[in-house]
A and B are shown apart, each in its own frame.
Chain A
């Protein structure tokens, strides 16, 4: 069973507009969440993270929102740029001593059109 799900396999957005990528999880033990971006032929690159003690974290154009009661997180990119076109993965880990054992969603391919 998938504990982390990204239900939209793809998303197309106009340059300058907001991109919203969504992620749902089922494991209530998850308490740390991350977003990674992946270009073809490259490994994933860390974007932003959020701990379950927060409900929002911002870093430049990227903001992650966490709704613990709904077990839902989202990544907002404002404004979207063509260089943001990539596959975005959300990931979660479930306890402090879990080290780097992350559970990933299936990814959402974002296309930002000029």
Chain B
């Protein structure tokens, strides 16, 4: 069974630009969550989508947004990039709610210069 796939693996953008990251969950998984990992703040929850609806949202500014498609694939978008947005962005999928553990992808490393 294929794991969670995130593309691209690495990305370099300039301050002020916008970026879109993609995530393909494990087949059959309907929940997709996004997390940001930075050395200073650790792993922080961005948002979760379930059946194309945002189910939960973390404490991030509105520049961070996401969506989920009918095939459960998800994208997250960051607009007006700031230097502090440099991080590893991790996508995770699970079958339903918290009773089924998260399966993480290997992440997209975003560098903002």
Contacts and interface: CB of A to CB of B under 8 A. Distances in A.
Interface of A: 32, 34, 36, 41-46, 49, 89, 91, 93, 96-107
Interface SS, B side: strand
Interface SS, A side: mixed
Contact of A93 (B31, B92, B98): B98
Nearest to A39: B106
A32 B31 CA distance: 18
Contacts of B44: 104
Interface in B37-66: 42-45, 48, 50, 55-56, 58
Interface residues of B, number: 25
Contacts of B45: 101-103
Contacts of A91: 43
A88 B101 CA distance: 16
B78 interface: no
A43 B58 contact: no
A44 B90 contact: yes
A100 B30 CA distance: 11
B48 A100 contact: yes
B4 interface: yes
7 contacts: A44-B90, A100-B56, A101-B33, A102-B102, A104-B35, A104-B44, A107-B43
